[in-house]
A and B are shown apart, each in its own frame.
Chain A
Amino acid sequence: MRRFLSILSATAISAVFAASLPPGAARAGEASIPVLVPLTGFLSLEGTSQRNGAVLALKDAPAGVAVRSEVIDTGTSPEAAVTALERAAGGKVTAVAASMLGTQMLAMLPLAQDYGIPLVTVSGTASITEQGNPWVFRFFPGDAVTKEAHARYVAEELGKKRPAVIYQTTAYGQSGKAHLEQAFKKLGVEPVFEEGVDPAAKDLLPVLTKALAAKPDVLVLHLHSGPTALFIRQAAANGVAVPIVAGSAMHQPSTAALLEPAELKGVCAETAASPISGGSPEVEAFTAAYRAAFNAEPDAFALGQYDGIRMVLAAVQDGAGNAEAVRKALSAGTHQGLAMTYRSDGKGNMAHSAVIVCYDGASRVPAIAKRYDNVTGVVR
């Protein structure tokens, strides 16, 4: 019921933007930024975070910038995403907070180019910025960044040389595994075990058993939220002493909520950011505002989308009066966000930092153990 109320409040916030703006009122800038994200289906957890981050950024629009927005659920099909973009493009659009689902992004990209609409996303799918499309901007580090941080933390900070890599058999998992392989190879580390796990697998003891049989000195996970929690729970129950460095799903508060703090002791995870870990007054203010608005804990997707929309709004405040001007500002500008400094690498990849967070066994709030900036060396 609280979730229902939070969705109602988010919808109400969106409505307030529109209702509070008298047509034709004098403003330093006006922006129309529809939020087209998956709120239902298998990506609804991440999509809801994305929506919340965008809505919060729009609510906190800079002084003098008037915002119009509506939230449209794209589900998980490419057709629904295209329909949502077609519908949004019917008006004068400044930019779109676009789905984090790669297949939806790939379907939206040609349309965005036709209409000339910047798509601001936290999608991790590598290929969306490899299409030569100048209208896409990704405010979340891709696997090339996060997996390098992941591997470097394992090899350089922990000094481990025999990782067992357990990944999901989905596109998400395959991409992460491929980048982990490359990163480990660069570091001269050879995984002693690699296995893909279907997200529908209920029991992860079999893969845990086989991984341990390979005598690894670290367990490296790249799994979705539920399987990550299940794996860690089963490892804790079996008294596994090998350290675990997980993928970004582990930093999500909803994943940690599935486990007892003691089960999390010593577990680390890579992520773009961990807003609940704090780090600066601005991040803490964001976290407090997010909790107040949505009665939930923010994650890196929410913060990434928040930063992306804030960059768009800053461009509007600085005089970008239309979609093309916003595109130019995003392509050439630098933005100091809450999670990191954003700058395009020329393809629309804006995020080049990652952090490693670790749990101390006493709480479900991780601490930032290591920060990796300029991982791709693009940020100047």
Chain B
Amino acid sequence: MITLQLLVNGLALGAAYALVALGFVLVLNATAAVNFAQGDLVMAGGLLAVALAPHLPAYLPLPGLLLLPVVLVLMAGLGLLLAAAAYLPLRRRPPVAVFISTIAAGIILQNGASVLFGPEPRAAPPLLSGGTLDIGGLVVAEQSLAIIAVAALLIAGQQWLFGRTQLGRRLRATAQDPEMARACGVPVTAMILVTFALGTAFAGAAGLLLANRYFVTPTAGGDLILKAYIAVTIGGWGSVPGAVAGALLIALFEVGVSSVLSYPVALGLLYATLLVILVARPQGLFGEAARRRA
């Protein structure tokens, strides 16, 4: 029974990590730039939910669920600002310029959050309820199930957007070859802005989901960006399924392996596995476009 319980917890954690990693991959694909502010954007999404929660009318049920679309929209706006401030002015410069500018943006977000919200850990409202379900002895937090459901919906939505819509095709064209896309009439700058907005909205959703179950502090983003980076490296740079698989693998080590061995040993094994994957498949488990990008 406890194994099942750990499995559900691991899936929930992996799903939230996947959202972080997907936002990272989106920007990477569209711009070939690594957005090192992605973890801090997750933190910003969590604290945004914390800040908005008290302003919801008390009679409204399910504050977390109601906040989700609001957080998605506001974070998308923040993504546009980030693109305008940290990417567009530097896109014709060497990649390291964007690299540094996103780190700077992350530090600004961290310190801004620290000034506005204080350093203490906060909890966002639960998506459905903060309770647990007891299913024949299997104790599952409702938030864990909500995280899995929301992440699955957002990931499926992203796949639909990219695979079935005109906007998605333009985004993919921009990702594959911006110059050719521009020559074909695709508004590349607009597509880049949309990408940043989407990636940041994903980060916001992850922030809201994680901040209830695992709390949020202004400095929480540093660890998340590292995990997103590892997930993307394991899965293959640029690969959406790879990012999801990488995120789930990290969660499997953090929850599954650490339940048998100790957490530090599990973490060591995760990095050892990463090394093995990089040696055996330098492009990652699902990588292909990544080789070209990297």
Chain A residues with CB under 8 Å of chain B are: 1, 3-4, 7, 39-42, 44-45, 47-48, 169, 195-198, 200-203, 205-207, 209-210, 225-226, 229-230, 237-239, 252, 254-255, 257-258, 260, 296
Contacts and interface: CB of A to CB of B under 8 A. Distances in A.
Contacts of A205: 5-6, 9, 255, 259
B264 interface: yes
Contact of A3 (B5, B13, B116, B141): B116
A258 B123 contact: yes
B125 to A, nearest CB: 13
Interface residues on B, range: 35 or more
Contact of B219 (A4, A41, A238): A41
Given A41-B219, A206-B258, A226-B121, A196 B116 contact: no
A255 B132 CA distance: 21
A290 B120 CA distance: 16
A39 B255 CA distance: 33
A229 B215 contact: yes
A44 B114 contact: yes
Q: Is the interface of B mostly helix, strand, loop or mixed?
A: helix
B118 interface: yes
5 contacts: A3-B116, A195-B262, A197-B263, A237-B141, A252-B120
Contacts of A206: 6, 255-256, 258-259, 263
A3 B115 contact: yes
Contacts of A169: 263-264
Given A4-B116, A237-B141, A210 B259 contact: yes
Q: Which 10 A-B pairs have the closest CB atoms?
A: A254-B120, A44-B119, A206-B259, A45-B119, A3-B118, A200-B223, A226-B121, A206-B258, A202-B214, A237-B132
Given A203-B254, A206-B255, A229 B121 contact: yes
B139 interface: yes
A198 B218 CA distance: 18
B117 interface: yes
B111 interface: yes
B209 to A, nearest CB: 12
Contacts of A1: 116
Contact of B258 (A47, A48, A207, A239): A207
Given A40-B110, A203-B254, 4 more contacts: A201-B258, A203-B10, A209-B259, A258-B122
Contacts of A196: 262-264
A182 B166 CA distance: 67
Given A3-B118, A225-B120, A201 B263 contact: yes
Contact of B121 (A4, A197, A203, A254): A254
Nearest to A38: B119
A198 B119 contact: no
Contacts of A209: 2, 6, 259
Contacts of B264: 169, 196, 198
B267 interface: yes
B267 A198 contact: yes
A111 B167 CA distance: 61
Interface string B100-138: 000000000011001111111111000000101000000
B31 interface: no
Contacts of A238: 139
Contacts of A198: 263-264, 267
B38 interface: no
Contacts of B114: 39-40, 44
B217 interface: yes
Contacts of B118: 3, 45, 48, 296
Contacts of A226: 121, 214-215, 217
Contact of B215 (A3, A41, A195, A230): A230
Interface string B122-163: 110000001010000001010000000000000000000000
Given A3-B118, A202-B254, A258-B215, A207 B6 contact: no
A208 to B, nearest CB: 9
A203 B227 CA distance: 14
A41 to B, nearest CB: 7
Nearest to B112: A4
Nearest to B132: A237
Contacts of B255: 203, 205-206
Nearest to B256: A206
Nearest to A238: B139
Interface in B203-256: 210, 214-215, 217-219, 223, 254-256
Contacts of B258: 201, 206-207
Contacts of B122: 258
Contacts of A207: 258, 263
B121 A255 contact: yes
Nearest to B259: A206
Contacts of A39: 114
A195 B10 CA distance: 20
Given A48-B118, A205-B6, A237-B139, A195 B263 contact: yes
